[in-house]
Structure 1
């Protein structure tokens, strides 16, 4: 967004949004704070989420979050995903779902997932506009909210 040069370097207002210019128009592609950086490569969480949700039919569409969390030597990638409403966690082959998600994300993005957590429907927090609340999901994951949910 254009602003007074006093607002920031080059006359840009620092909003935290990421974007690009496409066909002469500014297109917002995400938020800087949500960007996942692993080994110097940037990954958009929504791209990882799209890959993960297509990996297995037991996962609810648009009800999962890909997160960067602190690790020993840098950021690690975690996926927290709700399972479909037509089954229970006990009825799922959780290791098979986890393997499918890990394999899909590895093949498509070259990322090794540190953790895949399956949670009941309605568990992944949403914003007031219905989007996945990644920051709150990250906080809950780091606080250990789902350590007993999936193996």
Structure 2
């Protein structure tokens, strides 16, 4: 056995966040719960007002976006009419209040879906970075 063979590292197993949280079923529950909270909590009225009456289409888009963003099937990105996530939010006045409302919905959804605390903390950081980028005011 050579020195390099004796010090070689064990193969690394990479798990995507999509797989870590439970795949398609959990991502679907997360998107559904996110919009249930948005639709029923009066404390997030500002972001609810940015959406149409029927949340089903945007709920599906969030599911598809999160699927690919978390490392699963890139459903949103395979849509012929998909938009850059930044340009899709550009028409809206998004400030700190709207960002915080969005984050509150996502944090509650992650908690309600039973994501482990460590996973929620990692995703929370990523969601917060994304939500900060969407701010326009």
Q: TM-score range by the shorter chain?
A: 0.3 to 0.5
Instruction: Indicate the structure (1 or 2) with the bigger Cα radius of gyration.
Output: 2
TM-score scaled by length of structure 1? 0.36
Relative to its length, the structure with more strand (as a share) is 1
